[in-house]
Amino acid sequence: MATAFIFPGQGSQKVGMGKELAENFASARAVFEEVDDALGRPLSKIIFEGPEEELTLTENAQPALMAVSMAVVRVLENDFGVKIADHARYLAGHSLGEYSALCAAGAFTLDRTAKLLQTRGRAMQGAVPVGEGGMAAILGLDLGEVEAVAKKAAGGEVCEVANDNAPGQVVVSGHIGAVERACIIARDAGAKRTVMLPVSAPFHCSLMQKAAEAMAWALGEASEMPATVPVVANVTAAPESTPAEIVDNLVRQVTGRVRWRESMAFMAGEGVDLFVELGAGRVLTGLVKRNAPNAEGMAVGTPADIEKLAERLKG
């Protein structure tokens, strides 16, 4: 059995996530305390108690999701004796989840990862005035068809593919009018469904250029180490491990496409037959069968989940 650990992105957050871990394991509590200290504010209180609208803010959701993923990692390693580096062929994360993967691989410290994600969230939120941008999921068309739809819908504005999540599940991002036009054009082209997403900014498109510049500066200040496990990058759908590659890919990722379908296909092609989602929710687990039909997906976010995974990996 070859295992890849995958880490969720924005949208998987939920008030109360990680609370059971913190209540049961000192190692998990330490993660939330370290993130609070790094940010200089009680993010854990928002994670555990809400309110939901505050947790959903991009600058909170991004470090919060990473904190929950890393709490799972720490409990798995410190309390159950299962080291990520000993069992993972690859790591990967969806959008902000790539930072969680890099933290788990030792490329960034926990406190640095929290600060980077707070900066990233604020920069992405501030890159485009609220209401000017949007994102939409287009279901039932393949990537090439959605690229054609986006190009036709742009009309002098920005409309680009942001996430290639799975066959028949592609997300476009850009100016709100262009994205709305894309939904109409897509339905006329045979899309089964289009869904405007409840996001506060148009992520992973060229409108995020100011945010990319902010992250280039922030990452330039980061002290990073080579990853102990290859991390499959969103923008290349290939494993990267050197500090220079990691920084370059994270800067490009802000405006670039999340190539999740290709990333999953690459890992499956390398023999991965178990994808373990560490953290909140099971969004990525739900995409496993669509991207890697012969592989198994497993969501791990609670003490019971961790115990089950540890028993399995220890054989």
CA distance 218 to 209: 14
Backbone angles phi, psi at 120, to 5 degrees: -60, -45
Cα–Cα distance for residue pair 92/78, rounded to 1 Å: 21
Contact 245, 268 (CB under 8 A): no
Exactly one of 95, 173, 200, 263 is catalytic; which is it?
95
Identify whether 95 is a catalytic site residue: yes
Amino acid, single-letter form, for residue 180: E
Q: What CA–CA distance (Å, rounded) separates 121 from 206? A: 16
Output the CA torsion sign for 240, 242, 247, 248. negative
Annotation says 69 is catalytic: no
CA 2 centroid distance within chain = 22
Pairing state of beta strands 3-7 and 88-93? parallel
Catalytic pick among 87, 94, 175, 204: 204
Two structure tokens written together for 96: 């902000």
Is residue 91 within 8 A of residue 232, CB to CB? The reply is: yes
Structure tokens at 144: 């090439």
Dihedral pair phi/psi, residue 173, rounded to 5°: -145, 150
Are the beta carbons of 285 and 298 closer than 8 angstroms?
Answer: yes
Q: Are strands 133-139 and 193-196 parallel, antiparallel or unpaired?
A: antiparallel
Q: Say whether 171 sits in a helix, a strand or coil.
A: strand
Residues involved in catalysis: 95, 204
